[in-house]
């Protein structure tokens, strides 16, 4: 049996990595941007968050577009839009124009996570679903791990403006490669026929696919499990974006590191997350039987991830930089593993492939509805208190709430019966 589908996973890994290098760029560049444009911590928090405003608003339309055009098409479109916006950020001359470029980037990246999850749903046998999503999502942590020190170097060697231009240009190279190689499993010519047949036979985990055209967003919203995972995703992603946007600033101002030191120490937790995310979800795949997958028991692994994410609660109470790095690494690792586990869980209990793009968009909307608040809330906390302590407390408590939501509400199935009042074409 061949494994050429792993080439698709590899390109999606790079897709995730590029997206997160582009996101972390503004975090590393935050201090020189604030100095040049005269921004307060609150204004900087709004700038960090502005990307997510457009990201959230266009999330559900993006999910519907994925179901209509296919993730392979939307991936190229989305990367083109966000890469152009990333490059234009380097030309921004005011707070207002920078907000506009960040909104453009948010529109482009809105389908990014649903594209990843929907692609695995199409290409991956259920026995490797969690591992494949975790491997691909590891690009989301390797992006900041490599991007933070590289961007810091670009800023010192050139300027913060050139850092945006250079990182944005990389996305266009990826689009050329992806568009020339990848379509659907049914149509991609370089996949051998035996492997194609395995993909098509095993991607639905032996569950009979409903003969309806999907339940649409309204039907998905009627499933309690969808809402339980919506909340758990949000509580997990809140921590992801706290560390992604504010960690370099925290290390510079609260721990008194230089720009380059902050870039290096920001990379350490994300390097750890890159490896451990895959290991954690690989263990989950190996431990789950066919029946356990159908029963949605992956939610227990999700609960563990969220409980471990709450380790960030203790960051304000340790003195050494080593202890800070260890606690942040735990929080970053499990907050990155959680969304991959959650996406695999949605695949496990989703009954209609026709709803997959919408279901993943709904899930990611939950994550980013919470996540967009993290930079803003943290900015207000820092300005009001002069410290980051309460910011870590908020993230830790939310992680515990997310664990309870996953374990209590993240059960049952999604999209079992088409509701005549909520056909897929209506939304």
pLDDT digits (tens, 9 = 90+) for 54-105: 887 888 788 778 888 888 999 999 999 999 999 999 998 888 899 999 999 8
Residue 427 has pLDDT above 70, yes or no: no
The fraction of the chain above a pLDDT of 90, given in percent, is 28
pLDDT band at 314 (very low <50, low <70, confident <90, very high): very high
Cβ atoms within 10 Å, residue 332 = 31
Task: Using DSSP, state whether 192 is helix, strand or coil.
Answer: coil
* Lowest-pLDDT choice from 47-51, 113-117, 227-231: 47-51
Q: How far apart are CA 28 and CA 149, in angstroms?
A: 9
User: Residue 304: what pLDDT?
Assistant: 93
Cα–Cα distances (Å) from 371 to 53, 55, 233, 375, in that order, read: 10, 11, 9, 8
Residue 240 has pLDDT above 50, yes or no: yes
Contact 121, 347 (CB under 8 A): yes
User: Residue 210: what pLDDT?
Assistant: 55
Average pLDDT of the chain is 85
Name the DSSP letter for residue 209. P
209 φ/ψ angles, rounded to the nearest 5 degrees: -70, 130
**Residue bearing the bigger pLDDT, 284 or 387:** 387
Cβ atoms within 10 Å, residue 368 = 27
Q: How far apart are CA 399 and CA 420, in angstroms?
A: 37
Task: Using DSSP, state whether 255 is helix, strand or coil.
Answer: coil
Task: Using DSSP, state whether 124 is helix, strand or coil.
Answer: coil
Residue 15 has pLDDT above 90, yes or no: yes
Segment 268-295 shows an average pLDDT of 81
The set of residues, in sequence order, having a beta carbon less than 8 Å from that of 79 and lying 6+ positions away, is: 15, 18, 108, 171, 172, 174, 175, 178
Residue 310 has pLDDT above 90, yes or no: yes
Q: Which two tokens stand for residue 237?
A: 């992603």
Domain edges within the chain: 5-426
Contact 334, 302 (CB under 8 A): no
Task: Using DSSP, state whether 10 is helix, strand or coil.
Answer: helix
Class at the top of the CATH hierarchy for domain 5-426: mainly alpha
Task: Using DSSP, state whether 28 is helix, strand or coil.
Answer: helix
Residue 213 has pLDDT above 80, yes or no: no
The fraction of the chain above a pLDDT of 70, given in percent, is 94
Half-sphere exposure of 150 (CA within 13 A, CB side): 16
Q: Estimate the share of the chain in helix, then strand, then coil, as percent rounded to the nearest 5.
A: 80, 0, 20
Q: What is the dihedral of CA 152, 364, 391, 395, to 10 degrees?
A: -120
Contact 405, 342 (CB under 8 A): no
Geometric angle at alpha carbon 114, from 329 and 408, rounded to 5°: 65
Q: Which two tokens stand for residue 241?
A: 């974006």
């Amino acid at each position: 049996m061949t494994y050429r589908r792993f080439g698709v996973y590899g390109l999606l890994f790079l897709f995730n990595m590029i997206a997160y290098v582009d996101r972390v760029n503004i975090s590393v560049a935050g201090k020189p941007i604030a100095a040049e444009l005269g921004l307060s911590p609150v204004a900087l928090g709004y700038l960090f968050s502005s990307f997510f405003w457009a990201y959230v608003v266009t999330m559900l339309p993006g999910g519907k577009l994925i179901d209509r055009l296919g993730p392979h098409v939307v991936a190229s479109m989305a990367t083109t839009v966000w890469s152009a916006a990333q490059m234009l950020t380097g030309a921004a001359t005011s707070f207002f124009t920078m907000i506009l470029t960040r909104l453009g980037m948010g529109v482009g990246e809105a389908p990014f996570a649903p594209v990843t999850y929907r692609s695995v749903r199409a290409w991956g046998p259920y026995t490797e679903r969690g591992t494949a999503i975790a491997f691909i999502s590891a690009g989301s942590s390797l992006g900041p791990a490599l991007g933070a020190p590289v961007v810091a170097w670009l800023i010192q060697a050139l300027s913060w403006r050139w850092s945006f231009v250079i990182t944005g240009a990389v996305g266009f190279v990826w689009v050329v490669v992806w568009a020339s190689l990848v379509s659907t499993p049914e149509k991609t010519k370089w996949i051998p026929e035996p492997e194609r047949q395995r993909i098509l036979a095993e991607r639905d985990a032996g569950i009979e696919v409903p003969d309806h055209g999907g339940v649409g967003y309204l039907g998905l919203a009627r499933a309690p499990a969808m809402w339980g995972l919506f909340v758990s995703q949000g509580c997990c992603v809140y921590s992801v974006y706290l560390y992604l946007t504010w960690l370099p600033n925290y290390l510079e101002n609260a721990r008194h590191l230089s720009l380059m030191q902050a870039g290096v120490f920001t990379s350490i937790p994300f390097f750890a997350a890159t490896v451990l995310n895959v290991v954690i979800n690989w263990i989950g795949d190996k431990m789950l039987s066919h029946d356990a997958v159908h029963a949605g028991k992956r939610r227990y692994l999700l609960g563990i991830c969220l409980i471990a994410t709450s380790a960030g609660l203790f960051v304000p109470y340790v003195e050494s930089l080593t202890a800070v790095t260890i606690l942040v690494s735990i929080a970053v690792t499990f907050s990155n593993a959680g969304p991959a586990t959650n996406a695999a869980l949605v695949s496990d209990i989703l009954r209609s492939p026709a709803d997959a793009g919408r279901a993943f968009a709904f899930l990611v909307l939950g994550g980013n509805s919470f996540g967009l608040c993290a930079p803003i809330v943290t900015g207000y906390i820092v300005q009001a208190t002069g410290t980051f302590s309460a910011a870590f407390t908020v993230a830790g408590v939310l992680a515990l709430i997310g664990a309870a939501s996953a374990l209590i509400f993240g059960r049952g199935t999604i999209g079992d019966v088409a509701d005549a009042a909520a056909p897929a074409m209506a939304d």
